[in-house]
Amino acid sequence: MPANVVVPEVGESIVDARVARWLKKEGDAVNVGDPLVELETDKIDLEVAAPQGGVLGKIAHGDGADVKVGEVLAVIEESAAPKAPHPAEAASAAKVDTQKPEPKEEKKRVTPAARNAAQQKSVDLKSISGSGDAGRVMKRDVEQAEARATRSTPAPSLAEAAPRPQAAKAEAKAVQTTSGDRTEERVRMSKRRATIARRLIEAQSTAAMLTTFNEVDMSAVTAIWERHKQAFKDRHGVGLGLTSFFVKGAIGALREFPRINAEIQGDEMVLKHYYDIGIAVGASEGLVVPVLRDADRLSFAQIEQKVRAFAKAAEDGTLALADLKGGTFTITNGGVFGSLLSTPILNPPQVGILGLHAIKDRPMAVGGQVQIRPMMYMALTYDHRIVDGAEAVQFLVRVKQLVEDPGALLIE
């Protein structure tokens, strides 16, 4: 019987998707489990596989179409029964098969992010060995292949240089208009970018956002990092970063100011006595916020390992929806991009977000003397509907105290 290929239920918060790319054409033979189409949602990208073997029939929604969960994307028809060959033809075919065996080529598994990167960088996926599960080609594999090709190929002269294939493809997806010597280009937002834009507007229109600032002396953390960075990496296989210190410091402060670890539901405050800390991660397709579940139970090493795994998965496009759901409080670090000071925007329905920034040496008055200290500005944006200004200020002061005295984090 024919089988429908439908938009799967990915999670309760995802109700629609966009068809990014069909991997099969109408009339193609497919086996059960073959990836048919890549879908783009506001949180993750995913492949939809064939529910049964057969022939891909009419495609109902082509590349770029917006679709709803449960909507039919295409139909898989039953394969036509093969016509019985004439006995002489069958004998001849058997002889040919015996003399010239042709083993069937195994289809290479490729993540959507890797496929897009290969198109942009003009990298042949057939030449790449995948490092993911079951040999799946990841985005990092494509980038490494391009880097190897760049090192081994001399740079062409300006006269020899020609436009790369992906440049023409990118232009085809955009609409350019020219007036005199001024050119404009219209490019459709990705599903994730459009959702980010909508949620930012929602956050500003529904929450009473205010931001308070403080600065933290990073001398103690820097000293610990210098003393233990190599031993930490040797033991845990991951470098010691700043994230774990601020996760621990934020949790210590949230325990003292529980309304910053809450959300508003109607006319009630839902105070959460668990600490699922969202860590904002920048990826090529836009910001995502994977969540450290029960972060208060994690060691420094476990926090660093999970954060690095999140960053890698975000860039590869392999984050799971479960990684992104929930969260009681968020930490974002604009300092990795060089930001000295900013006002982070809330991640609804959360009512607090801690912004970290670049560490800069500055002259500070210490014990009546001027000393050069590594300083960082911190920002706390909070929802003034349930968080008072005094609470916000004291919360940030408490984070400062805990980070400036890392030994206190052990007590916490």
Low-confidence winner among 54-63, 248-257, 351-360 (lowest mean pLDDT):
54-63
Side-chain half-sphere exposure of 196, counting CA atoms within 13 A:
16
- DSSP conformational letter for 175: E
| Strands (E) located in 187-316 | 209-217, 262-265, 268-271, 277-279, 291-292
CATH number given to 3-79? 2.40.50.100
76-82: long-range contacts, CB 8 A cutoff, minimum separation 24: 76/2, 76/3, 76/4, 76/5, 76/30, 76/50, 76/51, 76/52, 77/2, 78/1, 78/2, 78/54, 79/29, 79/53, 79/54, 79/55, 80/55
**Rounded Cα–Cα distance for residues 198 and 20 (Å):** 20
Q: What per-residue confidence (pLDDT) applies to 123?
A: 78
Map out the domains of the chain as residue ranges: 3-79, 119-154, 210-411
Helix 219-236 to helix 300-316 angle (10° resolution) is 80
Q: What per-residue confidence (pLDDT) applies to 396?
A: 97
Establish whether 388 is a catalytic residue: yes
197-231 pLDDT, tens digit each: 888 888 888 889 999 999 999 999 999 999 999 99
Q: What is the pTM of this model?
A: 0.67
Backbone angles phi, psi at 20, to 5 degrees: -85, -40
State the catalytic residue, choosing from 124, 294, 361, 388: 388
The one-letter amino acid at 408:
A
Tokens describing residue 354: 């801690």
The whole-angstrom distance between residue 79's C-alpha and the CA centroid of its chain comes to: 39
**Averaged over 245-257, what is the pLDDT?**
96
State the catalytic residue, choosing from 228, 294, 384, 405: 384
Q: What per-residue confidence (pLDDT) applies to 144?
A: 76
1-43 pLDDT, tens digit each: 888 998 887 765 677 888 988 999 888 998 888 889 988 887 7
CATH number given to 119-154? 4.10.320
| Assigned CATH class of 210-411 | alpha beta
- Would the pLDDT of 193 be above 60? yes
